[in-house]
Amino acid sequence: MINLEVVVLGSGCATPIPERWHASFAVLFDGEPILFDAGEGAQIRLQQAKINAMRVNHIFITHLHGDHWFGLPGLIFTMDLQGRKKPLTIHGPSGLRTTLRRFLASSEHGVKFPLKFHEVPVPKTGRIPVVMLEEERFKVLAVPINHTIAGFSYAFVEKDGACIDKAKLSALGIKKKGPFLEDVRSGRTVTVEGIKVRPKDILIMRKGRKIAISGDTRPTRGLISLAKGARLLVHEATYTDDLQETAVSHKHSTISEAANVAKSAKVEELLLVHFSKRYAKLESVMLAAAKKTFRNTVIGEDLLRIKL
């Protein structure tokens, strides 16, 4: 099975604290890092997580509040200083290109590698996902957030595919692994150690895994639909339930609202992030409240890694 992992690079909200930096998450798919948001300090957290930033080819920005993208200019400058040649594509809502280009131009430091932008107008409402990126083995989908400015919630979706059944391989009498397995996975019949191996002999179909990332938002039907059946939902939980009115006016989510989204979407695990700095005892205050609704909940910490 292809390795799939989520690394929390920043679990804090608009005002960071030393142990919780601004929002940023890395999805590692077969060793390839894909970033979702790049808050201030994202490149430092990448180094601390031992993720090679030069391998990042796609960055998805949920919305244009500074705590979700102010780490981009520094990351881009470092890539340039290290001699990057290959393109970097930044995906997000309309206005992203102009905003970042102005920021970069103000430093009078030209970027020598190709910087590409994929801007998508944000629908006012909607549960039908927008396809932001489609590759051979995965795609990234998006639905509108309900926040003070336009933006997207995202889902990384691994495509369904065939994988090797080790028991069937062993039953054929083949003990060694090798490049021939990729040939079989691609639909070809091969002969190994004098044994003919057909795809139907050793392959089983496996449903792709999904990771949903809320961004800053009030709960929405679109997000529930996007996250349906996800292995992991990364959801903001800016406020405790006693600050419901504040959450509504600032268009964020409370702890119980995040848990209800996870329950409604029938996800396997909920990862809570984007906490107001007013909360020091997250385990006792927030985790206990969330688990009343959704038991399989964890508190996000900077540099936490979750393997799926």
Catalytically annotated residues: 67
Helix (H) or strand (E) holding 248: helix 244-250
For residue 279, give both structure tokens.
């909360």
11-to-37, 163, 260, 299 alpha-carbon distances in Å: 11, 34, 20, 9
Q: Tally Cβ neighbours within 10 Å of residue 113.
A: 14
**Contact residues for 81 (Cβ-Cβ < 8 A; gap 6+):** none
Instruction: Measure CA 6 to chain center.
Output: 7
List the one residue out of 171, 209, 219 whose CA is nearest residue 308: 209
Rounded to an integer, what distance in angstroms lies between the CA atom of residue 182 and that of residue 94?
A: 40
- Alpha-helical runs (H) found in 26-155: 42-48, 72-81, 96-105
Cα-Cα-Cα-Cα dihedral sign, residues 63, 66, 71, 74 = positive
